[in-house]
Structure 1
């Protein structure tokens, strides 16, 4: 007989990783032991802007470095945001294992647990145009799932072997390795399925939730018929809602339960915090498993019988109960339809004083918190959140004042939330682009590339001209000391991977004013030509790229130039096209016109100069993420150096850097236009 698994499911951590782990540990100690935890939604929260760094004290960094440990095995997923770049980089190196006991589920993932449970994951959010038009499944740098993402998930559920074990080139090949059943025990998604509220009498916490579901997720439910389906994206902020179970009559009475959880890391709002965790036990199906009993509160199946959805009642804000096993009723639920609404039903006890005579909302002891209670807003004891004296304080723009430690991601202020930020509320152009306005200037002591920055790594500089300078980057792609004998490593002294940086501070080349742009661009092209000549002497050709991305903090324009062995020259373009297809990146048919449209700071772009002098340009779209490491990712793949993807892992000692800079400076001297 199969052993039941005990599982804890939690809502979006939204970056509060340490606090969530502490809560999981406390729940496990009191109610466990759990086999594992499913962490829904955005575990890391919104990714930082590319000019921001995840510092040593950041919880994400602590987790990836092994300094922040999970109390039990946790499976996390992608929610409504792109995953942070350090997470994607770690995933590329190690696969799903981000840290001890922390595993990242694929966007269209399927895992089989040690006890035989099949868990499917559909990460990301839905946008109809992107879903229909995309030619590839989007990766973690995009917040969206596409039709290909769903197809890949359904294909995974139909196979007995791991996807990488087979080369599925046709439907016949898939069927040849089909599993005995494509059903899953648990499905996790960020998005609700369409029609999930049909036939349900469970009160919705907000009326708009009746229409937030989408058809692609509903199709996944029809195909996989999960016994439990958990979602995280039930409103803003996410709301808790548990639907009555429903039955698949044609599947031996298989029962599905749907639960949407509130966010653990949600910002404080008026009223009671939404329930963010759910514990349950589930026994794996086996060929000898008897049909489950039909739950007493089962409804019609919303995915097999479609009718007009009845009007829902308003939110029932009685206290939620902790569920431990399948098919168990929830005692003590307060009903709005009972004749006498003033007293609890038999068996109910107030959570504060244990009295059966009144609801928790009417408890006289509510006026004073229990010992050890800390207000989540001001972090002080002695009062509840609802009575916090700072609850209604306003920030500098009129909205709610942020909690201590909050920083607006748009402008860096600590005095307002991002939704109240003037910079984040810039008007929209007729063409749909965002008018970001002049990027905020970064001080000399903050910009990595300003020569006036006293912290600039000046020992890496190779040449200083009138308008630009050339420098080796920290952690260049080309190995020069360790790994220098790689078969695809060009023989350019000092490696040869350099940055061409305008001395004057502008976010991108397209934002440089026309009256001074000419000399800067001219000298940049001179440096490109000089590098081409130097590379040719060492049987290499140049690949140059610029991430011309506008951001709230500005940034500093620069072009990266990387030497590639001449034997790989004809494979460069296809490398960018292939990786672009995998990430949903589209290239403009007229690169020069695309760059002209971005001039004057009217748009963000990614530009590549191929070895033969032709250009490739991708225009970045608002709301569609683009990885600033895309150029490096393509080139390390082309060169067969996947271990060089993370520049931080390639950083050398200052002495080794100085040695490389001197070697490159000597080799570049005969070609240097500044001499």
Structure 2
């Protein structure tokens, strides 16, 4: 039925018993389905090599998988062999958070991340705190850091998948007889408990303890909604405990606020708010004596001083370095370093700053050396295919300056006198492009009047081009102090979504605690830009968005205010129901794919191109 909530099956440790699992899935699907997806937590692979033949039949396509299945328990017999083979498939190249396809209908959720599943916001942490006998299946600190950063973004998380139970989840409740013994802290994870507190999911799903346990809903500190924790038994367990469970949650992003904040009568206070609850479970958690495991422990214990490591000492807070603000403030266990933030704003790689190295190597678009004050990049003007040349640029390395060796000139679509148009790196949608000043300039609002005229010509041409495709256009720009090089984002959206753009931006602003100023409501955004240019001092932080109906929404951002670096993109990703694409790194294309998109755009845009 159109508009009905997605129907999701949840499963505990599979242990390689795929025949039994999918037989049960088909039975449930036939009797009470259809279901949209299956999410598996706990160990997915067999305990021994004896189960690998059955397992391999699905991986090679001999046995079909009935519904889209996602798993995080990437450890056990044969795990290295199968996931390594999947990671090498051409279709899995690039940074993906919505699952690497192992075979048709089977997806490995690697590391940690978030993605949208039929409108549901899903977070996951793959692996465990302690590796298996082969040294596999351990999550990393970076995996946890990434989730902590994601947890600070606006929006309610619908589902959180972990392999291990969070320590203390049994607090403030009576355990069922079936779940007796689950409070043993040696088999629970304090890091998962900390993440549950920060993420505040509506559903938290875990495996590993070989029992079924549906805890009473509990309240979250600082949130209006409750969390339901569900622990699942293993497939084929001798006690015949429940290993598969169905839910049908309406995505929080589509629910009225009055429904999101409904309080079930059996709800309890948070199990993690007991005085010292998480620290207490940490003190009683068994830890291997090897140094790696001890290292793993101190990383998440904010009460202890950490050893110094990395290029600049203690680990850096990505949220602070990238946006200049961190909601945890002084409570944050990571370093808020102004000097490192300054280097980051000068295009120095965060991993290089944080760890002294970057695993992306030549694929990384950021600098892998520190920039001293007064450094200059002197580049002689280079001719382009159309015969135009550009001035020497006394600036730091910049991938938007056409004369810079870092510029990805294969993304350029059109070059005018003052502006050029280029395909966005990691585009949100097909034909997501950027309008960029040729001169190194920090924003588009303080360029010369002649440049503004050419920018207007490009914008009008793009509007006509996309109108012929039954699409409207949204323009937005994030201007912050020390902006490296201006770029106006151009995102085409379906006509059917155009009337909701203002509403969703206002909603996002309200969630972050501010209201937009409105310029030229429902009028000509050309006039709106004139007004905006007249009042912008060129020194403030400013975000503005030009709506399809001509209205301009703008907000002057205080230095201490928290506004995500990718705010405009995140809001539009929500509007288009593609939350997994809110981060451009999730949308990276191969160079061949980029070249094909560039060629397709040029062919269609040629008759509208003001620079042709």
Greater Rg by CA: 1
Give the TM-score range, shorter chain: 0.3 to 0.5
Structure 2 length normalisation: TM-score? 0.45
Higher helix share: 2
Structure 1 length normalisation: TM-score? 0.41
